[in-house]
Amino acid sequence: MTIQNLPQSEAAVSSAISSEGKTPSRASQPVENPYQMALRQFDCAIPFLNLKAGIIEMLKRCKRELTVTFPVKMDDGSVRIFTGYRVHHNTARGPSKGGIRYSPHVDLDEVRALAMWMTWKCAVVNIPYGGAKGGVICDPRQLSLHELEGLTRRYATEIAMLLGPDRDVPAPDMGTNPQIMAWIMDTYSMHHGYSVPAVVTGKPVNIGGSAGRLEATGRGVMFTVAEAFKTFGWQLAGAEVVVQGFGNVGSITALTAHQMGCKVVAVSDIEGGIYNPAGLNIPKLLQYVKEFRTVVGFSEAEQITNDELLALPCDILVPAATENQLTRVTAPRVRARKLVAEGANGPTTPEADAILKDMGLIVIPDILCNAGGVVVSYFEWVQDLQQLFWEEETVTDQLRRIMVRSFHDVYNRAKELNTTMRNAALVLGIGRVAEATMTRGLYP
Ligand code: GLU
């Protein structure tokens, strides 16, 4: 059994609903270094904040960066060496929080950027965490279940010095899933001699995971979109939605949009896209993907490429795949009429942001739009620490409440400052982290 057969992977991911890594190809896009991109976004927010040079310099850097190189016994008896990372960007507001990514494209700068975005994201939705991220350079689709378990347990051991419920709490991201979190939790617990469920979130529910965690990111995307529509006086029922990426985030976003009465006209994964202007039957598509592990070949739709998908007319475009998808090349072709809702982390480059703004499009930025995942991770951590578990309805109601509140916090800031939602979210997030740093003071 390979990773395809495991329960779903997180994020923006890669894949079909049951978790293979199928991200749209990077080759067709100009690829920007994500850390440079995160720093350029940061620089745009700084003029709106009254921060001292020392604080600015501190917030640009990651607090800790661990690189590990470790051996894994492969099924054929050989030993392969893998490289992984765990980066803590900032811990001023609490333990660091962020996913672990398994992908051949992982590198230190990508992990740094993702860690920094986690810091701002947790601050934007006002949950008591700093930001972290981890990653292992590997293609999980090429590993057997046994190899994947070996890799995960060894990586968890290598980074264990950084982990802990009060220190750093990983979660799924691209290419990882609840089963991988279970192995991390078990490995950490074995070293401690007792079960420590709160050391990771996004675990299976039977070992302390939260109801509604798997669905949280996609639901959060649509709660934010729905609130935007309400705020702007637009009608959500019948709105046309295009979703790039059909992993955990993309598939649940599409399903939630469908349930909210939107017309999901196109979706894609790494193999390609499908389009039906009359609307796709998403529950039926999910069944298809369960069996065939790709959206491609679904009978009630026309085949399109990922590039064509980004250029389709729609009301809401949801890039839910990976970084660098809306660029100076692809952004001018976007024909979304109302919103770009970022399900992925870092899908839009600063150049593309400027282009979309000139086109009159509102971009709901990643650090707000996809924060539902980490919000329910926070609920999971709280439930684990209290050993008191909530009904899914409570989880989803609380998630909605936080997404709606955060949307208005960002939107009001954008109006006040006469700036984009991205910049307003960054100003809010960076401002909260800077405030916490100043309240704590510098030691010694
Ligand atoms: N990987 C997800 C993200 O990028 C979730 C992180 C978490 O729950 O800690 O937001």
Q: What is the pLDDT of residues 35-69, one digit of tens each?
A: 999 999 999 999 999 999 999 999 999 999 999 99
- Residue whose CA is closest, atom 9 of ligand 1? 98
- In short, whether 97's Cβ falls inside 6 Å of ligand 1 is yes
Catalytic residues: 133
Spell out the domains of the chain, with CATH numbers in brackets.
62-198 (3.40.50.10860), 216-369 (3.40.50.720)
pLDDT score recorded for residue 10: 41
Q: What is the pLDDT of residues 324-382, one digit of tens each?
A: 999 999 999 999 999 999 999 999 999 999 999 999 999 999 999 999 999 999 999 99
SS (H, E, C) the chain: CEHHHCCCCCCCCCCCCCCCCCCCCCCCCCCCCHHHHHHHHHHHHHHHCCCCHHHHHHHHCCCEEEEEEEEEECCCCCEEEEEEEEEEEECCCCCEEEEEEEECCCCHHHHHHHHHHHHHHHHHCCCCCEEEEEEEECCHHHCEHHHHHHHHHHHHHHHHHHCECCCEEEEECCCCCHHHHHHHHHHHHHHHCCCCHHHCCCCCHHHCCCCCHHHHHHHHHHHHHHHHHHHHCCCCCCCEEEEECCCHHHHHHHHHHHHCCCEEEEEEECCEEEECCCCCCHHHHHHHHHHHCCCCCCCCCEEECHHHHHCCEEEEEEECCCCCCECCCCHHHCEEEEEEECCCCCCECHHHHHHHHHCCCEEECHHHHCCHHHHHHHHHHHHHHHCCCCCHHHHHHHHHHHHHHHHHHHHHHHHHHCCCHHHHHHHHHHHHHHHHHHHHCCCC
pLDDT score recorded for residue 30: 66
For residue 155, pLDDT beyond 80? yes
- Residue whose CA is closest, atom 8 of ligand 1? 374
Q: 10 C-alpha vs ligand 1 centroid, how far in Å?
A: 8
For residue 101, pLDDT beyond 70? yes
Q: What is the pLDDT of residues 389-428, one digit of tens each?
A: 999 999 999 999 999 999 999 999 999 999 999 999 999 9
Q: 301 C-alpha vs ligand 1 centroid, how far in Å?
A: 32
Give the position, in ligand 1's atom list, of the atom nearest the Cα of 172: 1
pLDDT score recorded for residue 16: 32
